[in-house]
Amino acid sequence: MKPEVEMKLQNKTSAPKWQFIYWRRAILYLWPSILLFSVFLFYPLLKTFYLSFFLTDQQGMANVFVGLENYQYIIQSESFHKSIRATLIFVLLTVPTSVIISLFLALIANEKLKGIGFFRTLFASTMGISVAASAVVWLFIFHPSMGLFNQLINTLGGSEIEWLLDPQWALLSISITTIWMNIGFTFLILLGGLQNIDEHLYESARINGAGYFYQLRRITLPMLSPTLFFVITVSLINAFQTFGQVDILTQGGPSESTNLIVYSIYREAFVNYQFGTASAQSIFLFLCILIVTILQFRFGERKVHYQ
Amino acid sequence: MYAVELDRVTKSFEANTPVVNHVSVKVEPGEFFVLVGPSGCGKSTLLRMIAGLESISNGSIYIDHQQANFLPPSKRNLSMVFQNYALYPHLSVEDNITFGLDVQKIKKYERKKRCSETADLLGLTDYLKRKPRHLSGGQRQRVALARAIASQTPICLMDEPLSNLDAKLRAYMRSEIRKLQRKLQMTMIYVTHDQIEAMTMGDRMMVINEGEIQQIGNPIDVYNAPSNTFVAHFIGSPPMNITPGLVQDQHIVIGNQLQIPIHMFKEDIQKQTSVLMGIRPEFISHQNVQEIGAQSLMVTIDHVEILGTETLLSFEWNETTWHAKWYGQWNVKVGDQVPVYFDHTAWCVFDQNTKSLLQGPSKKNDQQMKVGTV
């Protein structure tokens, strides 16, 4: 037998053993993240899924198996319907607005002007402020008598608005706060995307005589589409998971008008001690975000141009 | 066909450090004009000023006899090919070619026609629906050319368009671009750092260094009689050999060995004490040992390159690295002692201090190299 053939045969017989060694080595590299993900993601996910089929006691221990009753309960619950509606309105208010405002800011901050670095820092600065801190700042701005907004309205001669106490305005107020907080991150990512576009493309267009808006429509936006897609996906997921600003500004009130879904889950679990229904709501939210993201990748990505 | 005229054009990004300094030149209508110089010499800046992408610090630019200093790029009647091609990656080849036509709101029928014409001309017809990322480097380069041609402007600017291609494709595209320019009778201003492109493509060339014009002329004249030692070094491969020479009563003496009769040179050279002597590698030839005289010497060969049609030799002598180019395939080895002959009629004489040419070769080239009349 020739040595080559021999080797091949040997390899063939020992293949499973080698595969096992490779697999073990791969696990060795992966285990830190597997460990972290298990503790903070996989275990809570499974536990939530498990709890959603049970009634629980005050410690959150599973007591009575109720099957799909928790799901039936939340689907029929008026308060949960309100929560979903508020969340959807909130998402529609915040995501497009913050992306459009950030895009505008990124476009003007991308111009080569003196001192533009100052404005870039300024526009991105909300990224460095914690949700709690900025919510407190906005609490003051929305204050009925001393707040900046009402004082402005007063000087202009309008009638004051109960920003956080009026069910008509509360969700909008939360949205304004959220848009302001989103802008930092979205702006920074979009600016990065803009700066990645080859300057020569614009020079070539200028020689052809393309105006600013023609360049924006036919060069900037298509070239920015992967960044836009990323930013929209992340903002959507974030908007569905909003919690901090609601907790500080309104606690879900007035009359549940700002009871966004994550806040509703929190209340169900840690105020009402209904861990079963809270888990069911969590699973519902998880599925919602999953579906939205899948849809987005299916339909949104077609319009995205990757280099 | 438009003329482009530069009048004392100056560009400085920072005060007192001009990148382009007082450049005046007239590019004739329909001419292929090459700007050549080493990296960072200001040639690209000059081209971008002509295109209107860069403002002019001082001086004037005239396009078709109209002052164009403040005209926006689109009003200058020119097209430009960039070094990295600047193709729109999200558009198909067809849309890339017709981008400029679409901006100018040219009718769809006309757009289609021009696109298919230029695609035909450049062999891109099969690729019109593809995106640039699915094309090879050479094809992308041709799309960039097609885009410039489709706009049918009388002036075309090219900024090192061939530098991203491999050697073979580059040689092919050199002649393609030249043919296109002749066929379409465009005024072409072509920037390159490659002296072969400058020599082979241009009707005239301008050598620039550190923002200053070194020499303007047709390539053969620049090659034969470089106006200073920079041009002598920059144009020609291998470069011209330049070495110090001493003027003594009847001869110019190089390294105490070569003696060139002084009467061959102008009187003002005879008054100097020392000069720089330059000779092209092809004028250093092989000689039989018995015939060694005042124009020849024995050298030790450092390096040999046999290129098939010619053999390149280098050796050290008189504190200078010398290059010689011999026609044919010579069996010379590193370390060999070889007698070489320096053609005394081929010397260029440069000033010791200003480095500028005092006298070009006295020999007419058509006596030495078989050129010219067919």
Q: What is the pLDDT of residue B366?
A: 47
Distance from CA of A166 to the nearest CA of B (A): 48
Question: Is A186 in contact with A99 (CB distance < 8 Å)?
Answer: yes
Query: % helix / strand / coil in chain B, to the nearest 5?
Result: 30, 35, 35
Q: Each residue's pLDDT tens digit in chain A (307 positions)?
A: 445 544 455 555 566 778 888 888 899 999 999 999 999 999 999 989 998 888 888 777 877 888 888 888 888 888 888 898 999 999 999 999 999 999 999 999 998 888 899 999 989 888 888 888 989 999 888 888 788 888 888 888 777 777 888 888 888 889 999 999 999 999 999 999 999 999 999 999 999 888 899 999 999 999 998 899 889 989 988 998 888 888 888 887 788 888 888 998 898 888 888 888 889 999 999 998 899 888 888 877 766 766 5
User: Which of chain B's residues have a Cβ under 8 Å away from the Cβ of A307?
Assistant: 89, 133
Closest CA to A136 of A227, A4, A247: A247
> Residues of A112-146 as b/e, b for ≥16 C-beta within 10 angstroms?
eeeeeeeebeebbebeeeebeebbeebbebbeeee
Using a CB–CB cutoff of 8 Å, tell me whether B100 touches chain A.
Answer: yes
Percent of chain B with pLDDT over 70: 97
Query: What's the N-to-C CA distance of chain B in angstroms?
Result: 30
Q: Write down the residue that tokens 């690295």 correspond to.
A: B321
Structure tokens at A30: 């992966």
Q: Write down the residue that tokens 């078709």 correspond to.
A: B64
Q: Which chain B residue has its CA at the smallest distance from A223's CA?
A: B90
Catalogue all structural domains in chain B, each as residue range(s) with its CATH number. Answer: 4-224 (3.40.50.300), 229-359 (2.40.50.140)
Q: What is the pLDDT of residue B50?
A: 93
**Which candidate from A207, A214, A307 shows the least CB-CB separation from B79?**
A207
Distance from CA of B26 to the nearest CA of A (A): 22
Distance CA A78, CA A89 (A): 17
- Please list the alpha-helical segments (H only) found in B151-283: 167-184, 195-201, 219-224, 229-234, 267-271
Query: ω into residue B219 within 30 of 0, thus cis?
Result: no
User: Between B253 and B16, where is the model more confident?
Assistant: B253
pLDDT of B289 above 70: yes
Distance CA B276, CA B12 (A): 33
Query: Which residues in A have their CB inside 8 Å of a CB on B?
Result: 198, 200-201, 203-210, 214, 218-219, 222-223, 225, 305, 307
Cβ distance of A203 and B84 shorter than 8 Å: no
Contacts for B15 with CB less than 8 Å, ≥ 6 apart: none
Q: Indicate the length of chain B as a whole number.
A: 374
Distance CA A139, CA B18 (A): 57
Cβ distance of A207 and B74 shorter than 8 Å: yes
Q: Which chain A residue has its CA at the smallest distance from B73's CA?
A: A207
Distance CA A306, CA A222 (A): 9
Contacts for A224 with CB less than 8 Å, ≥ 6 apart: A190, A193, A194, A197
Query: Region B306-330: what's the mean pLDDT?
Result: 91
Cβ distance of B73 and A201 shorter than 8 Å: no
Q: Indicate the length of chain A as a whole number.
A: 307
Question: Is A246 in contact with A258 (CB distance < 8 Å)?
Answer: yes
- pLDDT tens-place string over residues B67-119: 999 999 998 989 999 999 999 999 999 999 999 888 888 888 989 998 998 89
Question: Is A215 in contact with A205 (CB distance < 8 Å)?
Answer: yes
Range with the lowest mean pLDDT among A87-96, B222-231, B285-294?
B285-294
Tell how strand B32-36 and strand B187-192 pair up: parallel
Contacts for A274 with CB less than 8 Å, ≥ 6 apart: A56, A268
Question: Helix, strand, or coil here: A257?
Answer: coil
Tell how strand B348-351 and strand B274-279 pair up: antiparallel
Catalogue all structural domains in chain A, each as residue range(s) with its CATH number. Answer: 78-303 (1.10.3720.10)
Q: Which amino acid is at B298?
A: M
Question: Is B326 in contact with B264 (CB distance < 8 Å)?
Answer: no
Query: Greatest CA span in chain A, whole angstroms?
Result: 101
Query: What's the N-to-C CA distance of chain A in angstroms?
Result: 52
Q: What is the four-CA torsion angle of B78, B81, B85, B91, rounded to 10 degrees?
A: 30
Distance CA A211, CA A213 (A): 6
Distance CA B318, CA B308 (A): 29
Distance CA B65, CA B44 (A): 23
Angle, vertex CA A17, rays to CA A11 and CA A18, nearest 5: 65
Please state, in angstroms and as integers, the Cα–Cα distance from residue B3 to each residue in B25, B55, B181, following that order: 11, 20, 15
Cβ distance of B100 and A214 shorter than 8 Å: no
Q: What is the pLDDT of residue B48?
A: 92
Q: What is the pLDDT of residue A1?
A: 41
Query: ω into residue A254 within 30 of 0, thus cis?
Result: yes
Contacts for A197 with CB less than 8 Å, ≥ 6 apart: A219, A220, A223, A224
Q: Write down the residue that tokens 């393309």 correspond to.
A: A210
- pLDDT tens-place string over residues B14-57: 877 888 989 999 999 999 999 999 988 889 999 999 999 999 99
User: Which of chain A's residues have a Cβ under 8 Å away from the Cβ of B88?
Assistant: 201, 218-219, 222
User: Which of chain B's residues have a Cβ under 8 Å away from the Cβ of A210?
Assistant: 74, 103
Distance CA B158, CA B80 (A): 6
Q: Which chain A residue has its CA at the smallest distance from B152's CA?
A: A208
Question: Is B125 in contact with B119 (CB distance < 8 Å)?
Answer: yes
Please state, in angstroms and as integers, the Cα–Cα distance from residue A82 to each residue in A74, A280, B276, following that order: 11, 16, 93
Kind and range of the H or E run holding B213: strand B212-217
Kind and range of the H or E run holding A105: helix A78-109
Closest CA to B284 of B317, B333, B262: B317
